Chains A and B, each alone.
Chain A
């Protein structure tokens, strides 16, 4: 893997050498930022520390808390440049998202009952719009973004998620190996006494 430091944008432009639009440069930077080994290590170590800390403070770690912690660490690693990371960090540590979804579902049902024909036509036409809506629901903090910015946030979010998955897989392997070997070692050593 090439050793790409998260250098300032200017340096990256110099190496790329082509005067593409700013967006393109940023998207390349996005990819490089999340795919470098260094970022991976940074994220993993931070996550590990956060895990240790959380384990120290509360005896039981629920999956949800862990998930939230992992997301927050990921957002911190993003250094506040993307909207989804800011949204993750800004959101309080509660599970309030479900309620909103229920409310929206109810609203749509009522309108459909009232005006079946007209709304059906209107609703089926902008297919792309519906998908964009679904995407907006998936990416945190992007509920009112334009299509343009939404796609940008999505690409960054996808790369970040990939890194998160990789790091968490590494952690699980690490912990599972530690767990598998520790008891056997202990037993082995005590048995040989």
Chain B
């Protein structure tokens, strides 16, 4: 999905918190000299890691232009730390890994230099980047890594989210490489790794569904759960159909002029819905904002309800009656607000008036 790709990009780069982060992303990227990206390539093998620590970061995040950066994460290179400990052959993708490591270092430096409130976000971002990197070893072709080694090497980053790093098989849902760590004693064949990754993804999603669908806890196994899921979806769809029939029936029976229906009172109604309750006759007010003949009824009501209240209110209420038979204006409504002695539906009435007429 496009969204997930964008999410992942957002995850891997320290961006401003913004819904439309892409333009920011671009501007962010644009500020970087290209030189620094080339440097990691010199660090094939050896103690490149240490050199990263001293990697000069000139005043802020410096990345290459977007094209270069796109090389880095999606290529999904293995963690530089892992490659170091296992002393793998350094190949092209290791350079990419180093670039990522460098980014992490840059992130660290950035945190120290900027010291902004978004530091935490960078930390978490970086932690996520590290997590993603940690889970990449499919390319290593089944080498089993000691997690402790990895942790010591990347202690600065791991310490921030060490608890999250404990999962032995992390997966990243991406259209490109799937990264799984082989567990101890299990086949490290690339095919079985792939299968295991796929199975784990599916089981994760099944767990999500299990939380959603009520009554799924008792059933175990894919088939049973799928049965429950299917039944639940069918029941929901049937409910929607039934409700639509009901609403259609109600629509035809209730004859009111739809344009005058106060939409604003409805959200309040809906907000109260989960609590179910007691909508103090708010819906009854729909009858007030209606056809002319129904407005006559409203005026009648005003007349009638005027009697119990005090004379002062009577005067104002009579003034309201002089309003022509259009929708009641907001001025009247504001005048009516202080009245709380309406016979009919006291609170509900003027609540709705407040909401419905603006």
Contacts and interface: CB of A to CB of B under 8 A. Distances in A.
Interface in A144-176: 147-148, 151-152, 154-155, 157-159, 161-162, 164-176
Given A13-B128, A63-B245, A81-B3, A131 B284 contact: no
B300 interface: yes
Interface string A37-65: 10011001100110111011000111111
A152 to B, nearest CB: 6
Interface string A4-44: 00011111011001111111111100010000010011001
B286 A182 contact: yes
B284 A182 contact: yes
Interface in B1-27: 1, 3-4, 7-8, 10-11, 15, 17-19, 21
B53 interface: no
Interface in B90-133: 120-121, 124-125, 127-128, 130-132
A138 interface: yes
A138 B234 contact: yes
Interface stretch (A87-95, A104-112, A113-121, A183-191): A183-191
B297 A190 contact: yes
Contacts of A135: 226, 229-230, 233
Given A23-B173, A154-B209, A182 B247 contact: no
Contact of A8 (B17, B209, B286): B17
B339 interface: no
A5 to B, nearest CB: 11
Given A25-B7, A56-B258, A186-B287, A157 B253 contact: no
Contact of A169 (B163, B229, B243): B243
A13 B227 CA distance: 33
A9 B21 CA distance: 10
Nearest to A183: B287
A37 B270 CA distance: 9
B201 interface: yes
Given A14-B124, A152-B205, A182-B284, A51 B247 contact: yes
Given A131-B230, A132-B226, 5 more contacts: A19-B164, A22-B172, A63-B249, A158-B209, A193-B303
B287 to A, nearest CB: 4
Q: How large is the interface on B (under 10, 10 to 19, 20 to 34, 35 or more residues)?
A: 35 or more
A128 interface: yes
Contacts of A25: 7
29 contacts: A8-B17, A8-B19, A17-B124, A19-B164, A21-B172, A22-B7, A22-B173, A23-B173, A40-B270, A51-B251, A52-B259, A61-B248, A62-B248, A67-B240, A67-B244, A70-B244, A131-B230, A148-B198, A155-B205, A155-B208, A174-B269, A178-B286, A181-B283, A181-B284, A185-B284, A188-B344, A190-B297, A193-B300, A193-B304
Contacts of B249: 63
Interface stretch (B273-281, B316-324, B329-337): B273-281
Nearest to B132: A19
Contacts of A101: none
Contact of A182 (B127, B130, B256): B256
Contacts of A139: 233
Interface of A: 1, 7-11, 13-14, 17-27, 31, 37, 40-41, 44-45, 48-49, 51-53, 55-56, 60-67, 70-71, 81, 127-128, 131-132, 134-135, 138-139, 147-148, 151-152, 154-155, 157-159, 161-162, 164-179, 181-182, 185-186, 188-190, 192-193
Contact of B205 (A27, A157, A192): A27
Contacts of A185: 284, 287, 297, 301, 344
A61 B244 CA distance: 10
Interface in B219-250: 222-223, 226-227, 229-230, 232-234, 236-237, 239-241, 243-250
The 4 closest A-B pairs by CB, nearest first: A19-B131, A181-B284, A182-B287, A19-B128
Contacts of B35: none
B87 interface: no
B62 interface: no
A41 B267 CA distance: 6
B164 A10 contact: no
Contacts of B240: 67, 70-71, 161, 164-165, 168
Nearest to A132: B226
A175 B120 CA distance: 49
B183 interface: no
B273 A170 contact: yes
A63 to B, nearest CB: 4
Contact of B250 (A41, A52, A169, A175): A175
A22 B4 contact: yes
Contact of B267 (A45, A158, A164): A45
Contacts of B173: 21-23
A123 to B, nearest CB: 14
A13 B164 CA distance: 13
